[in-house]
Structure 1
Amino acid sequence: MSEDTPGCRAVPLPTLAEPERLRSLAETRLGATPDEAFDRFARLAADLLDVPVALVSLVTADRQFLPGATGLPEPWAARRETPLSHSFCQHVVEIEAPMVLPDARLHPRVRGNLAIEDLGVVAYAGMPLTDLDGRVLGSLCAVDSKPRAWTAEQLRTLADLAAACSSELRLRIALRSAEQARRRAEEAHDRLAMLAGMSETLGGTLDVATAVDRLGRAMVPLFADWCLITLTDPAGRPRSVSGAHRDPDRAADLARFAELLATGLGPDSVIRSVLRTGRPVIRGTATPADVERGTTEPDLAPLAERLGFGSHLSVPITAAGDRVIGAVTLVNGPSRRGFDGSDLRTALDIGRRASQAVGNSRLYGEQRHVAEVLQQSMLPTLPVVPGVELAARYQPAADRVEVGGDWYDAFVQPDGDLIAGIGDVAGHDIEAAATMGQLRNLVRGDAYGRDDPVDELMTHLDRAIQGLPVPTVASAVLARVRPAASGLLVSWCNAGHPPPLLVPADGPVQVLDGIRGPLLGLAHPPRRARRELTLAPGDTLLLHTDGLIERRDRPIDEGQAELVTQLAGAAGLPLVALCDQLLAAAQRREDDVALLALRAR
């Protein structure tokens, strides 16, 4: 049979594809499965009109499905749907009026329809089924397998049944609309809650990677099926792309998509347009072909299809002066509704909050880098001393940008003795760092060239702090190290500082607690005391600040005991590796950490 034969067209009727009609049809939530209410209408029509077949047919752009049916032959009775090649009801939708045929074989519109041969349709009477706006969704039809002269009474009965059937369809649509309205209200409430909490969520960190991760998790799946956050380098080029997906099983695909996107944006890319112009872009309907047009990476379109690509929108992330530093891209799969103007307004709000968070994180990162460089510039280069191995580390707290007051020092006296010290000035700001620099210089100036015992050096330091004056309270350990017949002789004085630890080459770790004097900088400094020990070859003396062992959620004694446990069996480690291991174990530090370790060779 030719494609041009009437009733067997290859191209669907234009009316069938009208978006509003299809949307209304979808809102009935009916499909190719039996529905008791509509089966009842079909049975009533068959009984009242005395026909072998009656159908409630709803017509899409490419098929008809039958939620109500009686008398259909197999396999159609089980399938509950037919292609349009077997549909008379499509013409009821097209003409938006009843269609009554005593003998379809004689009617030019449908005489080529395959329903005549395959379903035995000869006589046909179909009444429109409409929604509240009068759009025809389908037909309630009566069918006979032989010619039939339909009476006025039969057609009036069928029209009455169709009106009642239309009411049932409208009720289904209204219930669906009410459900959608309720869902949209809940969604709007959830979005407001998300926006209300987003500033606090993003403001809880000054780390860019953490802020971006939190942003993605806040938007998915509430606002989108998946998202991308693109950040630029100073030249405005994409520097990093990350995101989140509602399906954890798609994490690998999303990571690969983000990796390729960072270098694969083409000149027609939506994200590149947003980065260049600072203007948002929204596409209520999209396909992976759109991705293909906007990228130089051929693998991105297949990845987008696996991730789900039905609509998207992108908004800028800006810094001070409206300089674009990134973009937020939201994507919904084909099964989720497309983005609209309301979504765009919400996304722009998210973009503004992301701008503040990312901008603050970047500023923090820059300031932190400057602070660390400043701090490191205040720390000395360790000397090379015969018979002594030295290693030191300084690491600032993970969640602060300020320079701190922790310090260490080691220098060689004219007579060859080594003076080693470590300390902590109260405070965590530029003033504490400046005071730390003064204190370290006082230690050097006070001790250099003098062979006084370390307790007397510490007493001189007390007097200098009071007399100059240096406005500080600080803790410190000062040690003098000199060669001895059996290794190294160490004498030290402790001014309110965590005690040194001895890590013998062979034996248990010892906490050298002993006499711990008051802090430096007190109005009436006390007489200081010293202690001595001998380091045999391979023995290690560890000096550290309290950031290594102190936590707000536990007593400092527990931190001290944990440090002793970490040092057990570490005597054989190279000194540099030992210091690195201790820093790595100090997770989520709440304070700066300084370490100074010396080992007898």
Structure 2
Amino acid sequence: MGGAEEQPEQQQYIDLQARLDRRLEEIAAQLRELAGAKDRLQGLLNAVLAITRETDLPAVLHRIVTTAMELVSARYGALGVLDESGQALEQFITAGLSESERADLSDIEFPHGRGVLGHLIHHPEPLRVDDIAAHPASVGFPPGHPHMGTLLGVAVSVRGTIYGDLYLSERRDGQPFDREDEDIVISLAGAAGIAVENVRLFEQVRDSAEHFQRLLLPTLPDLHPLTAAATYRPAPTPGHLGGDWYDAIWLPDNACAVVIGDVVGHDLHAAAAMAQTRSMLRALLYDHLTPPSSVLHQLDVTLHAITDLPVTTACLARIEPAGQGWRLHWSTAGHLPPLLITLDRNTEYLHTEPGLPLAVNTGHHRPDQTYPLPPGATLVFYTDGLIEHPAQSVDEGMAQLAELAASHVDLPLQDFVNTLADHHPSDGHDDLAILALRIPLDPDPAPQVGNRPA
């Protein structure tokens, strides 16, 4: 009898253990599902942060595609940007194609919104297709196009208007896209629309700031027989207003005055201080035909008395007739030395005692220096945004600038300064200004100012 009673109890224990095992398996599956969901949410968060860090529209669009591919493990991805009509694509940004696949499609025009792509344009609801070729809107692929069977498409909206469509194809595990893939890409598309709008606003602010800054800088006058060219490049920071400035004028005593400077700060105050300083200096140059050091001193005293000037570096120079040629007569207020490049491509920085910047100590004396300028030589005045890089010393940046200048000094002068600005050795975090002058080959000095054209 005892054995008969033990058997049901044993069976009950076995059944209970089986139920417990099944429940544990269910719990484990739920935990795995939760862990997977957490990973996806973390991936989505990382993707959103990565997109919103970009400040350049092409970079944002490409990042949207690549992050979407990562989130759903897609082999291929693309973003089609709609034209003004909203009925066709004007841009098609792709990712995932190999070099050989790109080469096979090099002669094929990018899609403009026909077939399944067009279906999403005209019906902007999320689209999942397990077999592209079997879809009613399919028109096939061009020759050389890689095989794509599955598709996940989601519209990207900016301020309630469809901006474009995000397309993904071929999950790496070979499975069709599922509802979870769709949901996470929809979430990404929402963040993508915000990122695109942010970049648009960023570009508007940047363009407005740059336009304002350029309005404060002069158009260089005719300095014949000297040749002059200048350029200004703003920093990439939104709303950045720099204090970099330059100027060049012909003086009544038959000398050409040039100046380059940098007001500390990157805001409206710095830009306003720059404009005040440049205007005051012009007046002083005409009123005081004295050595550059005296003009800088008077500028320092005057600005100290009537303005709240931030610390400012400057280099003021006169290119003066000297016998049958020209000489440089200059003084600096804490600014970088001019760079001289001769016709035979020799380079030399015209180092001198830098002197204190403006707005530091009005009683400080700044020395003057003179230097003969060879016929055909090129002088380069610049701000520190051209050479500063956190990974190297200022001397290294100056050496790289000298090498760059020597390599391109034969260019027309405006092309020359543009090349320096395009290929500068700095990290590009700051605005920069460049002013270059070229000494004539003819050794005769400039005509008297009364004979100069108005």
TM-score (norm 1): 0.62
2:428 corresponds to which letter in structure 1?
A: R
Q: 1:122-201 counterparts in 2 under 5 A?
A: 188=37, 190-201=39-50
Q: Confirm or deny: 8 A CA contact 1:486 1:536 kept in the other structure.
A: no
Measured in 2, the distance between the counterparts of 1:600 and 1:210 equals: 43
Of 34, 57, 64, the residue aligned with 1:208 is 57
8 Å Cα contact 2:384-2:432 kept in structure 1: yes
> How far, CA to CA, are the matches of 1:347 and 1:304 in structure 2?
28
Query: Are residues 1:269 and 2:118 paired?
Result: yes
- Which letter maps to 1:201? A
Q: Does 1:600 align with 2:445?
A: no
1:591 matched to 2:426: no
Offset of residue 449 of structure 1: 4.2
TM-aligned CA deviation for residue 428 of structure 1: 1.6
Is 542-551 or 407-416 further displaced after alignment?
Answer: 407-416
Q: Deviations over 1:19-56 (max 9, x none)?
A: xxxxxxxxxxxxxxxxxxxxxxxxxxxxxxxxxxxxxx
Is the Cα–Cα contact under 8 Å of residues 77 and 169 in structure 2 kept in the other structure? yes
How do 1:430-441 and structure 2 match up within 5 A?
430-441=268-279
Whichever residue aligns with residue 241 of structure 1, its letter is F
Q: Which residue of 2 aligns with 1:281?
A: 126
Relative to structure 1, the CA distance from residue 319 to residue 214 in structure 2 (aligned partners, 3 Å threshold; closer, same or farther) is same
Contact 1:220–1:246, Cα closer than 8 Å, also in 2: no
Q: Distance in 2 between matches of 1:238 and 1:330?
A: 16
- 1:317 and 2:156 aligned: yes
Post-superposition offset of 1:421: 0.6
The separation in 2 between residues aligned to 1:441 and 1:462, in whole angstroms, is: 13
Rounded Cα–Cα distance in structure 2 between residues aligned with 1:268 and 1:317? 14
1:125-155 Cα deviation digits (max 9, x unpaired): xxxxxxxxxxxxxxxxxxxxxxxxxxxxxxx
- The CA distance in 1 between the partners of 2:242 and 2:398, in whole Å, is 22
**Maintained 8 Å contact 2:68/2:185:** no
CA contact (8 A) 2:116 2:132 kept: no
State the match for 2:446 in structure 1: none
**Can you list the C-alpha shifts for 1:60-93, whole angstroms capped at 9, x where unaligned?**
xxxxxxxxxxxxxxxxxxxxxxxxxxxxxxxxxx
Aligned to 1:409: 247
State how 1:406-555 maps to structure 2 within 5 Å.
406-506=244-344, 508-555=346-393
Deviations 1:233-272 (A, max 9, x none): 5554633220212655434467777x522x3447982331
CA distance in structure 2 between the partners assigned to 1:383 and 1:545 by the alignment: 21
**Aligned-partner Cα distance in 1 for 2:385–2:346:** 23
In the alignment, the residues of structure 1 paired with residue 76 and residue 211 of structure 2 have an alpha-carbon distance, to the nearest angstrom, of 39
> Whose relative contact order is higher, 1 or 2, with alpha carbons under 8 Å and at least 6 apart?
2
Contact preservation (8 Å) 2:101, 2:144? no
C-alpha RMSD over aligned residues: 3.1
Distance in 2, Cα, partners of 1:470 & 1:196: 46
Q: CA deviation at 1:202?
A: 1.3
The CA deviation at 1:570 is 4.3
Q: Does the 8 Å contact 1:243/1:254 carry over to 2?
A: no
Q: How far apart are the structure 2 equivalents of 1:548 and 1:467? A: 32
Q: Secondary structure at the match of 2:110?
A: helix
CA contact (8 A) 1:230 1:238 kept: yes
Structure-1 separation of matches of 2:239 and 2:80 = 25
In structure 2, do the counterparts of structure 1 residues 209 and 401 end up closer, same or farther at CA, with 3 Å as the change threshold?
Answer: farther
**Cα distance in 1 for residues equivalent to 2:279 and 2:354:** 23
Say which SS state the counterpart of residue 375 (structure 2) adopts.
coil
> What CA deviation, in whole Å up to 9, does each residue of 1:315-349 have, x standing for no partner?
x32223x2332222222369832223222211111
**Structure 2 length-normalised TM:** 0.81
Structure 1 residue 203: deviation in Å? 2.4
Q: Does 1:220 align with 2:69?
A: yes
Partner of residue 241, structure 1 = 92
Partners of 1:241 and 1:293 in 2: how far apart?
19
Find the residue that maps to 1:552 and give its secondary structure: coil
Shift of 1:571: 4.2
Cα deviation code 1:202-253 (max 9, x no counterpart): 1222011112222222222551232221234555463322021265543446
Match of 1:542, as an amino acid? V
2:101 matched residue in structure 1: 250
2:110 equivalent to 1:260? yes
In the alignment of these two chains, the number of paired residues is 412
Q: Does structure 1 retain, via aligned residues, the 8 Å contact 2:105–2:145?
A: no
Q: 2:52, 2:397 → 1: CA distance? A: 30
Q: Is the 8 A contact 1:394 1:595 kept in 2?
A: yes
Distance 1:211 1:339 in 2: 24
Counterparts of residues 40-51 of structure 1 (less than 5 Å) = none
Contact 2:401 2:424 in 1 (8 A): no
Unaligned runs of 5+ in 1: 1-179
CA distance in 1 between counterparts of 2:219 and 2:98 reads 52
For residues 545-577 of structure 1, the C-alpha deviation after alignment (integer angstroms, 9 at most, x for no partner) is: 001110112221211122222233544333223
Give the superposition deviation at 1:414. 3.0
For 2:104 and 2:250, the matched residues in 1 are separated by 59
